[in-house]
Amino acid sequence: MSVTTRPTPPAEVRGVELTGKTLPRLAPLYSGLIAVAAALLLNVLTSVQGVAGTAVVAALLFVAIQSGWSFAVEGKRHAVDRLATTLIYATFVAAFAALVAILTVTVAKGVAALSPDFFTETMRNVSPRREGGGIAHALVGTLEQVLIAAAISVPVGIMTAVYLVEYGAGKRLSKSISFFVDVMTGIPSIIAGLFIYTFWVLTLGFERSGFAASLALTILMIPTVVRATEEMLRIVPNDLREASLALGIPKWKTILKIVIPTALGGIITGVMLAVARVAGETAPLLLTTFLSQNMNWNPFAGPQASLPTFVWDQIASGTNASLDRAWAGALVLILLVMILYLGARIVARFFAPKTS
């Protein structure tokens, strides 16, 4: 304790070598260049043809060259490290490429039919072969159906999650709710549509309507909202709940004013993912409200159009004009979800926990 003595190393140090051989800093670049050059060479010399084939060959060569080089110079651990790094980047590129491809194709093919009129006109009296027409009726339908579905499933989902996290911990009821929410997550969307069709339309005798479609979408939304909200509520530190309770704030107000606001950013993101998921559903809508070429503002009576069924219908018609409209409809659907998502992020930013 009193004097700090530095332990003198024993004569024979059986320590670890701290330095080792490393590849040059630009080794990935060199490997990449060699791999691309070799792939191009193979492209010329052998039967490997086409951009995709060459790219795959180049990628495989890159992995082989860099890992082999690293193994020879740096040893096994570094070689595996480089291999894993490459694989992770590759999966990212593959996922991102799919996203970029979808967006570019949709934008490229969708802009053809896009015009101001496209947003204000319906398909009433527009034959499939003719150009023109629009998605006003489908836009109204999708917005109404999704908003109604959200208006039902967001309160139900959030309250369920609040019960699961704040009140039901360890209770049998909460465990079974948790289990059935998981089961609901796996329900195929067409089953949700069939259920509402048999229950709402056939059994209770209501007509097909946008509202029936909303009910089917609600079944799909609730489990997503419950799960997302539950996750977010669970990561709110218990310290905050205790701090609030210790101030003499009742439990319900603690949840409403402290816990939920703290988790609100994540809850909103989860809700928007659920909205995005159901906004693109087609099958349940076909069963519950089917198609319409006309504007129908009333979601409670008569068939109502929607963007996914509009796209489906236009593709089914199969003429050049209708295919253009289908792509434009798909583009509008993507943009709609994106706008809703960005809007929600801005709202979430506004409520998010603040640090200066």
Partner 1 sequence: MGSEGQAPVKLSVQSAVGAAAEGKVEAQRVHEVSAPSRAKRMDLNGVNIYYGKFLAVEGVNLPIEPRAVTAFIGPSGCGKSTVLRTLNRMHEVIPGAYVTGEVLLDGQDIYASNVDPVNVRRTVGMVFQRPNPFPTMSIYDNVIAGLKLEKGRRIRKSETDVVVERSLRGANLWNEVKDRLKAPGAGLSGGQQQRLCIARAIAVEPEVLLMDEPASALDPISTLAIEDLVHELKTEFTIVIVTHNMQQAARVSDTTAFYNLAGIGQPGKLIEYGPTQEIFSSPREKQTEDYISGRFG
C-beta of 41 vs 169, nearer to partner 1: 169
Signed CA dihedral, 52, 58, 62, 63: sign only: positive
- Least distance to partner 1, CB of residue 238, Å: 9
Contact 200, 206 (CB under 8 A): yes
C-beta of 5 vs 356, nearer to partner 1: 356
- Least distance to partner 1, CB of residue 264, Å: 8
C-beta of 168 vs 302, nearer to partner 1: 168
C-beta of 216 vs 232, nearer to partner 1: 232
Contact 314, 326 (CB under 8 A): yes
C-beta of 39 vs 165, nearer to partner 1: 165
Residues 6+ apart with CB under 8 A from 265: 348, 349, 351, 352, 353
- Least distance to partner 1, CB of residue 351, Å: 7
C-beta of 53 vs 168, nearer to partner 1: 168
- Least distance to partner 1, CB of residue 340, Å: 23
Which amino acid is residue 107, in one-letter code? V
Please give the full DSSP string across 138-207, using - where no structure is assigned.
HHHHHHHHHHHHHHHHHHHHHHHHHIIIII-TT-HHHHHHHHHHHHHHT--HHHHHHHHIIIIIIIS-PP
Query: HSE (CB half, 13 Å, CA atoms) of 119?
Result: 8
Distance CA 293, CA 126 (A): 9
- Least distance to partner 1, CB of residue 268, Å: 13
Give the DSSP letter of residue 237: -
**Site residues (CB under 8 A) for partner 1?**
169-170, 237, 239-250, 253-254, 257-258, 261-262, 264, 351-356
C-beta of 194 vs 352, nearer to partner 1: 352
- Least distance to partner 1, CB of residue 267, Å: 13
Best CA proximity match to 138, nearest among 338, 292, 302, 280: 292
- Least distance to partner 1, CB of residue 236, Å: 9
As given in the structure block, the two tokens for residue 213 are 């479609």
